[in-house]
Amino acid sequence: MELANLKDPSEVVTFSQAVKQGLGRNQGLFFPTSLPKLDNIDALLEMPFQQRSAYILNQLIGDELGEETVAEMVNNAFQFTAPLAHVKDNIYSLELYHGPTLAFKDFGARFMAQCLAQVSGDSPVTILTATSGDTGAAVAHAFHGLSQIQVVILYPKGMVSPLQEKQFATLGDNIHTVEIDGAFDDCQALVKDAFDDQQIKDELHLNSANSINIARLMAQVCYYFEAIAQLPKDKQKDAVISVPSGNFGNLAAAMIAQAMGLPIKRFVASTNANDTVPRYLLNGLWEPKKTVSTMSNAMDISSPNNWPRIEAMMEQGIVDKSLLTAESVDEDYTHIGVRQLNELGYLSEPHAAVAYKALKRSLNDDEVGIFLGTAHPAKFKETVENILGTPVALPKALAEVANKDILSDSLSADFATLKSYLFTTLKTS
């Protein structure tokens, strides 16, 4: 696989390089210079999820890692399902929250971890990241047990929900969690300082493993095939997919799937009140506003960092611009969405509700609509309970961690302290 930097097309890298580097020069995103067109879609849709995913990823990645290796990576990463639930009439929900941290980010993070372990061979790598909750859990679980990769997660003391802290700070082994006496911004500033420190970069082989890594998008392509495969056969060509969007990585993956030949009729980009993209598609002006807080807080983003990939696909004609519309769903309608779905016997949470309401606005009778369930309702327990007035049960994975001990170290928000911590902890482990 060959990828080019979207900001500087003269920078061309392999898949392995793109995985290791994350971003290109001038903070440019990498994107494949061409996408394989699959001519055996019907046969592919008959295959089991893991086998089909290995095939798709092998087609995308090419012969760089070896067919067997990629299949093994897929088996390690995708150890959970992506069921399509029938909600009513012509509407379905693709449930992407059955992984270890109950959010769709498990797919991308786990496959990226496998890729990084593969392309770094025996050289040690350190992942350093700051979290306010969610991403920490996905990263910690994805890398847990990959012994040549040490993970250090910084988080603001007392500002992460107790259950979230339990999810990422109880793993141990190669996962080091550090509560910082400060705010999330302090944690981010410490990470930035570490990436600016040549000695740390050289000796600890830092990598950020963040959400713009191409490996994540590649993994996410696979569950769109799984969605269509689960539709009744006579409806497989009519699907409209509504993607609850924040950084727009998930939507970019849907478009890649379509470019590879998956029948997706059109796309609905669903956002909450942070509506930079819906406004842009209406008037052509890119005008991010100040980010506002909403119930669907994983989408509280006004400058989506994956948008350049979508823009590039539309400009290069890889996807047809006219197939993308966008809807912004405000807090009242998100509320209504959770309630309506519940009345249909379907328990949801604010992100899925945004996608559902956006889909309903857009869907025609002769189409089939799929909205993505990106998080388990229990992840947004308080909000859902407030809306519905009924208790939401914790799934087993969450209930179990509640009894585990927190293994974090505590540090002040001071770079010199962090630096000496990194060298003592990581050099001996």
Ligand X SMILES: *Cc1c(COP(=O)(O)O)cnc(C)c1O
Residues in contact with ligand X by the rule CB under 6 A: 103, 105, 134, 244-250, 298-299, 351, 374-375
Whole-angstrom Cα distance, residue 170 to residue 214?
28
Nearer to ligand X, 32 or 249 (CB): 249
Residue nearer to ligand X on the CB measure, 207 or 247? 247
Q: Which is nearer to ligand X, 78 or 248 (CB)?
A: 248
Q: What residue has token string 């179990």?
A: 400
CB of 411 to ligand X, least distance (A): 27
Residue 334 CB, shortest distance to ligand X, in Å, is: 12
SS3 content of the chain, % helix, strand, coil (to 5): 50, 15, 35
Least distance from C-beta 138 to ligand X, angstroms? 8
Strand partners, 241: 267, 370
CB of 365 to ligand X, least distance (A): 28
Can you tell me the distance from the alpha carbon of 160 to that of 199, in angstroms, rounded to the nearest whole number? 30
What is the chain's Cα-based Rg? Answer: 21
Nearer to ligand X, 118 or 383 (CB): 383
Sheet holding 125-130, edge to edge: 206-207, 125-130, 149-156, 175-181, 409-412
SS3 of 5, please? Answer: strand
**b/e per residue, 154-174, with b = 16+ CB within 10 A?**
bbbbeebeebbbbbbbbbeeb
Residue 249 CB, nearest approach to ligand X (Å): 4
Shortest Cβ distance from residue 339 to ligand X (Å)? 19
Q: Residue 182 or residue 304: which is nearer to ligand X going by CB? A: 304
Q: Of the two residues 324 and 418, which places its CB atom closer to ligand X in the complex?
A: 324
| Shortest distance, position 141 Cβ to ligand X, whole Å | 14
Q: Phi/psi at 324 (nearest 5 deg)? A: -110, 120
Q: Would the CA dihedral through 159, 160, 166, 171 be positive or negative?
A: negative
Q: Which is nearer to ligand X, 100 or 249 (CB)?
A: 249
* Residue closer to ligand X, measured from CB, 246 or 337: 246
Which SS3 state, helix, strand or coil, does residue 49 take? helix
Distance between CA 133 and CA 163 in Å, rounded?
9
CB of 12 to ligand X, least distance (A): 25
Find the helix packing angle between 350-362 and 331-343, rounded to 10°: 90
